[in-house]
Structure 1
Amino acid sequence: MKALFLAGGLGTRLRPLTEHLPKPMALVGNRPWLEHLLLNYKAQGIYEFVVAVKHYRELIESHLGDGSKYGVRIDYAVERELLGTAGAIKNAEHLLSDRFIVVNADIIHQVDLASALKFHEAHRGVATICLTDVDDPSHYGVVVQTDGGRIVDFVEKPKKEAAPSNRINAGIYIMERRALAFVPAGKAVSIERETFPLLIDNGSGVYGHPIGGYWMDMGTTERYRQLHWDLLDRRFPVAIGGQDMDNKGIWLGDNVRVGQGVLFVPPVMIGDDVTIGDRAIIGPYAVIGNGSRIGRQARLSYSILWDRCRVSAGAQLNACIFGAGMQAGPHILHEAVCNRNLEVHRR
C-alpha cells in the first residue's frame, strides 16, 4: 500500500516564513515536517510514497530525492495547475495502489495507522476519513455520524454552540481506487466539499475513525509557536535531534560550541554546528537551527530560529521566529516574524 502526501500548496497564513517555501517543508524541531512525516509512516510499515507537488517542487524533490536515503521509494505527481484536494489525488492515480492513504502534508499529526486500517477493512466502504476532536470546531468541517461510524453529513464551519459535535476532518484518508471513478480528470475538485458529499449521497460508504494522539494545523504563526512548545514539553513526542543533557530538557546537537558563563533555561533545543557566545542566556522555550551563531550576552526566549541565523552580541529576542539565514542586530525584538528576505512583521 502507498501513501500520497499532498504537498503542492503554499502556506499563505504562515507567511512570511513560507513565502518561498512549501508549507510542509517548514522546519519542525530543525527538520522539515515533510521528512518527519515520511519517517513516521515508514515506522508504521509504509515504504512506497507519492508526493503531489506544484509550488517550489524542486525544494521538495532535492531534499527527499527518490527516497533511497530513507530506505523507501518516492514518486512525484506534478500539478501543472492547482487541482484541489481531489483533483491532486486524481492526477496521481496512475501511481497509486488499489488501496492507499492520502495525507494533507501540512497537518501535524500522529495516527495509529494499524487501527485505522483495521476499521477501514471492516466497514468495506470506499473511504475512511480520520477524525480528531477539537475544542472549537467553528473553523473546520464537522462530521455527523451514525453509531457505526458511517458519515451522513458535513457541517462546514458551524457556530460553536450549534456544532453537532467537536469531531472534525483530520486531513488523513484511507481510500479505495474505485472512489476515484467519481472524480473528473484535469479539473479542480475539492474532496471535502465535492467528492465526499457525492460518495455519501450515492451510498458508496464513507466512514469516520478518530485518530487520537496529537493533531495541529500549523497554518498560523501562533500555532507554529505552540507546536514547538508542545514538542519541547514532549506533548508532541516527535523525535528531537541531539542529546538531552542529563535529561533536563536541554538538547544539544553535534559540534555545538558553548562560551563561558552561558545559561540554558530549559526547555531548549540547539541544532548542529551552533556557536553560542559568552554569558548568553538561552531559553526558556528556544529552538536554534543548525549552523547558527549567537553572540555574547544575547538573550533568546520563546523564540524559534531556523538554520544559519546570526544574532549579534547583546541582542534580545522574545517570541520571535526567524527564517533561514536571518540576522538580528543589537536590538530588542518582541514577537517579530522574519523571513530570508529580511522582512520584519511585528504585531
Structure 2
Amino acid sequence: MKALLLAGGMGTRLRPLTEGLPKPMALVGNRPWLEHVLLHLKQEGIRDFVMAVHHSQDVIRHYFGDGSRWGVSIQYAVEQTRLGTAGAIKNAEPLLGDRFLVLNADIILRSPIVPLLDYHEQSGALVTIGLTEVDHPSHYGVVEQDERGRIIRFVEKPSLHEAPSRRINAGLYVMEKKALASIPAQQEVSIERETFPQLIESHGGVFGFLLGGYWLDMGTTDRYRKLHRDLLDRKIALTLKEKERGQGIWVGEHTDVGSGVLFVPPVLIGDRVRIGDRSVIGPYTVIGDDCEIGAQVRCSESILWDRCKVHREAQLNHCIFGSGLELGAGHLLHEAVMNVLPGGVAQ
C-alpha cells in the first residue's frame, strides 16, 4: 500500500518560522516533522510514498530525494496552483493504487496504522476516516456516527451541549481510488467541506475509526511550544537521534560543553553544538544542530533551530528561533518568535 502525504501546507499561522518553508518541514525535536512521519509509517510497514507538494516544494524534494536514504521509495505529485485537500489527492491519482493511505503531513499524529487498515477492510468502506477525541469539540467539525461506525454527518463547531460526540477528523484516511471519481481535476476542492459530505449524502460508505495515541494540530506557535513540552516529557514517543546522557538530558554527537555548564532538565541538545562556560540551559529547551551558545548564557523554555548563534551573557526565555539566527551579547528576550527571512533580514 502507498501512503500519500499531503505536504503542501504554507503554515501561515506559524510565520515567521515557515517563511520559505513548507509547514511539515518545521523542526520537531531537531528533525523535520515530515521525516518523523516517514519514519513512523516505515515502522508500520509502509515503504512506498507519494508526497503532494506545492509551497516551497524544492525544500522537500532536496531533503528527501527518492527516499533511498531512508530505505523507502518516494514519488512527487506537484500542484502548480493550490488545489485544496481533495484536489491534491486527485492530482496524485495516477501515482496511487486501488487502495491507499492519506495523511495531512502537518498534523502531529502518532498512532498505530494496522488497526485502521484492518477496520477499513472489514467494514467494506469506500473511505475510512481516522478520528480522535478532543476535550473542546466546539473548535472543530464534529462527527456523528451510527452504531456500525458509518458517519452520518459532520457538525461544524457546535456548542458543547449540541455536539453529537467529541470525535473529530484526525487528518488520516484510508481510501479506495473509486472515491475520487466525483472530484474534478485541477480544481481547488476541500475534502472536509465538499467531498466527504457529498459521499455521505450519496451513501457512499464513509466510516470513522477512533485512533489511539497522540494527536495535535501544531498550527500555532503556542501549540508548537506545547508539542515540544510533550516531546521532552515523553508524552509523544518520537525517535530522537540524540542520546540520553542523564535523566531528561539528551545530547547529540560531537557536542562541546564548557566548564560549569548547568543543564536543567528536560533539555535536548543537537549535534556539533558548542556551549560556553557557566551557561545555564533549560528547562524545556531544545537547541538544534551546529548552534553556538556563548559563555554565561541563560536559555530556558526556548526552541532554537539549527545554526543559531547566541553570544555571551544573553538571556532567552520562552523564545523560538528559526535556523541561522544570531543574538548579540547581553540581549534579553522574552516570548520572541524570530526567523531569518530570505535576503538575510531577521523578523
Shorter-chain TM-score: what band? over 0.9
Aligned CA RMSD, in angstroms, stands at 0.8
Within-5 A mapping of 1:105-184: 105-184=105-184
Within-5 A mapping of 1:16-27: 16-27=16-27
Quote how far apart the aligned CAs of 1:240 are. Answer: 1.5
Instruction: Report what 1:321 is aligned to.
Output: 320
- Structure 1 contact 130–172 (Cα < 8 Å) conserved: yes
Structure 1 residue matching 2:181: 3-state secondary structure: helix
Q: What one-letter code is carried by the residue in structure 1 that aligns with 2:294?
A: G
Instruction: Report what 2:213 is aligned to.
Output: 213
- Structure 2 contact 325–346 (Cα < 8 Å) conserved: no
Quote how far apart the aligned CAs of 1:20 are. Answer: 1.2
Q: What one-letter code is carried by the residue in structure 2 that aligns with 1:266?
A: P
Within-5 A mapping of 1:1-347: 1-246=1-246, 248-329=247-328, 330-341=330-341, 342-344=345-347
Measure, in 1, the Cα distance between the counterparts of 2:346 and 2:307: 17
Cα deviations across residues 275-325 of structure 1 (Å, max 9, x unaligned)? 000000000000000000001000011000000000110011000000000
Q: What TM-score do you get using the length of structure 1 for normalisation?
A: 0.97
Structure 2 residue matching 1:40: 3-state secondary structure: helix
Moved more, 102-111 or 156-165: 156-165
Q: What one-letter code is carried by the residue in structure 1 that aligns with 2:279?
A: A
- Structure 2 contact 261–279 (Cα < 8 Å) conserved: yes
Identity across aligned pairs (percent)?
61
Measure, in 2, the Cα distance between the counterparts of 1:55 and 1:242: 30
Measure, in 1, the Cα distance between the counterparts of 2:97 and 2:106: 23
Cα deviations across residues 203-248 of structure 1 (Å, max 9, x unaligned)? 11000001111001000000000000100000010011211013x1
Q: What one-letter code is carried by the residue in structure 2 that aligns with 1:277?
A: G
- Structure 1 contact 131–208 (Cα < 8 Å) conserved: yes
- Structure 1 contact 302–318 (Cα < 8 Å) conserved: yes
Measure, in 1, the Cα distance between the counterparts of 2:158 and 2:302: 34
Q: What one-letter code is carried by the residue in structure 2 that aligns with 1:7?
A: A
Runs ≥4 residues deviating over 2 A: 159-162, 341-344
- Structure 1 contact 241–251 (Cα < 8 Å) conserved: no
- Structure 2 contact 85–189 (Cα < 8 Å) conserved: yes
Q: What one-letter code is carried by the residue in structure 1 that aligns with 2:258?
A: G
Measure, in 1, the Cα distance between the counterparts of 2:49 and 2:89: 13
Quote how far apart the aligned CAs of 1:343 are. Answer: 3.8
Quote how far apart the aligned CAs of 1:137 are. Answer: 1.5
Quote how far apart the aligned CAs of 1:160 are. Answer: 2.9
Q: What one-letter code is carried by the residue in structure 1 that aligns with 2:145?
A: Q
Measure, in 2, the Cα distance between the counterparts of 1:332 and 1:162: 47
Quote how far apart the aligned CAs of 1:191 are. Answer: 0.5
- Structure 2 contact 280–296 (Cα < 8 Å) conserved: yes
Measure, in 1, the Cα distance between the counterparts of 2:160 and 2:277: 51
Q: What one-letter code is carried by the residue in structure 2 that aligns with 1:309?
A: C
**Long gaps (5+) in structure 2:** none
Number of equivalences: 343
Measure, in 2, the Cα distance between the counterparts of 1:67 and 1:343: 33
Measure, in 2, the Cα distance between the counterparts of 1:201 and 1:181: 15
Q: What one-letter code is carried by the residue in structure 1 that aligns with 2:261?
A: V
Measure, in 2, the Cα distance between the counterparts of 1:340 and 1:53: 23
Quote how far apart the aligned CAs of 1:147 are. Answer: 1.5
